[in-house]
Amino acid sequence: MGSLFGGKLSRVAEVTLLDPWEEHVAAMQRDGLHLTEIDGHEEVIPVTATTDPDAVPEVNLAIIFVKSHATRQASEWAARFLAADGLALTLQNGVGNVETMAEVLGEHRVVAGVTSHGATLLGPGRVRHAGRGPTYIAIRPKVAKGLAAVVDTFEQAGFEVHLSTDLDSLVWGKLIINVGINALTAILRVPNGQLVKIPAASELMAQVVDEAVAVCRAKGIELPYDDPLGRVREVARATATNRASMLQDVLRGAPTEIGVINEAIVREGERLGVETPVNRVIVTIIRAIEGSYPVRVS
What is the pTM (predicted TM-score) of this model?
0.85
Residue type for position 119? A
Residues annotated as catalytic are 174
Greatest Cα-to-Cα distance within the chain, rounded to the nearest angstrom: 54
Q: What are phi and psi of 10, to 5 degrees?
A: -65, -20
Strands of the sheet containing 110-115, edge to edge, are 59-64, 82-90, 110-115, 135-138, 161-164
The closest alpha carbon to 247, from 178, 154, 146, belongs to 178
> Are 98 and 112 contacting, i.e. CB atoms less than 8 angstroms apart?
yes
> Are 104 and 80 contacting, i.e. CB atoms less than 8 angstroms apart?
no
User: Could you give the CA distance from residue 157 to residue 152 in angstroms, rounded to a whole number?
Assistant: 9
**What are the residue ranges spanned by the domains of the chain?**
2-165, 168-293
Nearby residues of 250 by Cβ (< 8 Å), 6 or more positions away: 186, 189, 256, 286, 289, 290
Domain 168-293, CATH homologous superfamily name and number: N-(1-d-carboxylethyl)-l-norvaline Dehydrogenase; domain 2 (1.10.1040.10)
pLDDT of residue 142: 85
> Are 45 and 57 contacting, i.e. CB atoms less than 8 angstroms apart?
no
pLDDT of residue 275: 98
pLDDT of residue 133: 87
Domain 2-165, CATH: 3.40.50.720
User: Could you give the CA distance from residue 226 to residue 222 in angstroms, rounded to a whole number?
Assistant: 9
Nearby residues of 114 by Cβ (< 8 Å), 6 or more positions away: 91, 135, 136, 170, 171, 173, 174
pLDDT of residue 238: 87
pLDDT of the chain, 298 residues: tens digit per residue:
999 999 999 999 999 999 999 999 999 999 999 999 999 999 999 999 999 999 999 999 999 999 999 999 999 999 999 999 999 999 998 898 999 999 999 999 999 999 989 898 999 999 999 888 899 999 988 888 889 999 999 999 999 999 988 888 988 999 999 999 999 999 999 999 999 999 999 999 999 999 999 999 999 999 989 999 999 999 999 889 889 999 999 999 999 999 999 999 999 999 999 999 999 999 999 999 999 999 998 7
> Are 137 and 147 contacting, i.e. CB atoms less than 8 angstroms apart?
yes
Nearby residues of 115 by Cβ (< 8 Å), 6 or more positions away: 1, 91, 133, 134, 135, 136, 159, 174
